Homo-oligomer: A and B are copies of this chain.
Amino acid sequence: MKPIQLSRWGCICLIICSISSMAQFRDPRPVKPPPNIIVFLVDDMGWEDTSVPFWDQLTDRNKRFRTPNMERLAREGVKFTNAYATPVCTPSRVSMITGMNAAHHGVTNWTSPRKDINADAPDPALDTAPWNWNGFSPVQGVPHTVYATPLPALLKTAGYYTIHAGKAHWGAMGTPGANPYNMGFLVNIAGHAAGHPQSYLSEENYGNMPGKATPQAVPDLEEYYGTGTFLTEALTREALKALDEPVRRKQPFYLYLAHYAVHVPLQADKKYIQHYQDMGLDEAEARYASLIEGMDASLGEVMDYLAARKIADNTIIMFMSDNGGLSLVPPRGGTPHTQNLPLRAGKGSVYEGGIREPMLVKWPGVTKAGSTVAQYIMIEDFFPTILEMAGIQLYEAVQTVDGKSFVPLLKNPGQTDSLRTLIWHYPNKWIAEGGPGINYRSALRQGRWKLVYDQQQGYTELYDLVADIGEKQNLSGVYPKKVSALLSLLSEQLQHWNAPMPVLKASGKPLPWPGK
């Protein structure tokens, strides 16, 4: 399978080269030490769930949230205003760790912690698409998984000290993908097969209450049981504790601090909730905002740690979320699917509310403080970007990488490429009741244009995101040739990747490719 040309920047061509170790990182006299890299990943955080505006104006949501440390990071680094992930978590996380688009790796929906359990909701007319419901596997031959070389393993081989803290959720129990140690992490703190915490509360042992634990009970944090330490803070402390070792050794590190926050259950972080209750927010929204502020405090602690250890100047921080903000009510408060306005819908949807992310990058000596990148990028881009940041040019990976490095954008934030094509593919039923842009959808962005495709109905929508970020005006009747061109691009790429498609029960055959 050959990669196809997706943009003028060209595809990522992997140079396959067998190296077992890049020993220069252990040389006591490197010319320039490789940078430390921190990926600070938040779960289910919407584009506007921060006091940092990622649009051209401050929205009501921006005014609600207090994220002073994100503001600090934005001031010191680059803000990406068109950063994307997939509509739900596992596809995004697998894309980040493999560099592959979700339509390509086939882990198109969230994965159950339990093996061989397809998390799709049942549908009267459609059978499940043959997606990889056991998730990602770093080992070949595991049924219903995508086999690929994980990013941390490449970093470890190159001499990085690799630390996982928080949510993993790459693969199911009973498969190698359940275990962060199999991803190339040297340290694992609290990462496992589950996609959310049973509890954020130390008073509930993060879920590990005898007789009450579910697969979502958070492992490895017994030290904090009953101490009043909120999960976000416990993870931060453990992550920083683990960082002491590479810092002491002056070994470059990769820290993947993937917070469970701000995923449900929406539990109050007592340190922060009072302010939001005082604002008059309903209880659910106040709790949500307290989760956001606790997450932001964690970012601040990380930045303070780097400053105190005098390693901030050689440490890259990347802030990202894995999908759009949840817009289901309950558990959120307010009117369903309004939580990300002006963006349409939320988590689970291919509309902007489900996929657009707050993203910040600070690379001391490379990024210009307070700059902005408007070029759209996608979560699989982190894979080649991080390898480029680490100076790893030759590596061995079994997969063809779809992402492209955004290092050029960090160096030249004004650069644009309106021909680049981003693709979303969600051949799954996320929730029984459906919703805007939710279930059995694909989408494509090229330049200002966004095409949304309903796999079941064969229906297309076209939006001009520059003029209409809220995707209110379907222009498909106005620009039929554009629709046809974009639909053809989408269809070809999905076919190229042999993307999973839902199966029509009546015929036993997959739904047709878009436009067919």
Interface residues of A (CB under 8 A from B): 20-21, 26, 28, 113, 115, 156, 173-179, 181-182, 186-189, 192-193, 202, 205, 208, 210-215, 217, 219-227, 238, 241-242, 245, 248-249
- With the chains together, A205 CA to B225 CA distance in Å? 22
Can you give 18 A-B contacts (C-beta < 8 A)? Answer: A21-B249, A26-B28, A26-B249, A115-B225, A173-B205, A173-B225, A173-B226, A174-B224, A186-B245, A187-B187, A188-B220, A192-B220, A208-B215, A210-B214, A211-B211, A213-B217, A219-B219, A219-B220
Q: Which among A178, A220, A223 has the greatest number of chain B C-beta atoms within 10 A? A: A223
Q: Is the CB of A210 within 8 A of B220?
A: no
Judged by DSSP, the binding face of A is loop
- With the chains together, A189 CA to B227 CA distance in Å? 23
Nearest CB to that of A224 among chain B residues? B174
A205 contacts which chain B residues (CB < 8 A)?
Answer: 173
A225 contacts which chain B residues (CB < 8 A)?
Answer: 115, 173-174, 178
Q: How far is the CB of A56 from chain B (nearest CB, A)?
A: 45
**Chain copies in complex:** 2
- With the chains together, A205 CA to B173 CA distance in Å? 9
Contact pick for A222, options B189, B193, B214, CB 8 Å: B193
A156 contacts which chain B residues (CB < 8 A)?
Answer: 245
Q: Is the CB of A173 within 8 A of B222?
A: yes
Nearest CB to that of A28 among chain B residues? B26
Q: How far is the CB of A489 from chain B (nearest CB, A)?
A: 39
Q: Is the CB of B186 within 8 A of A248?
A: no
Q: Which among A182, A188, A225 has the greatest number of chain B C-beta atoms within 10 A? A: A225
Q: Is the CB of A211 within 8 A of B212?
A: yes
- With the chains together, A490 CA to B223 CA distance in Å? 36
- With the chains together, A26 CA to B20 CA distance in Å? 19
A181 contacts which chain B residues (CB < 8 A)?
Answer: 187, 189, 238, 241-242
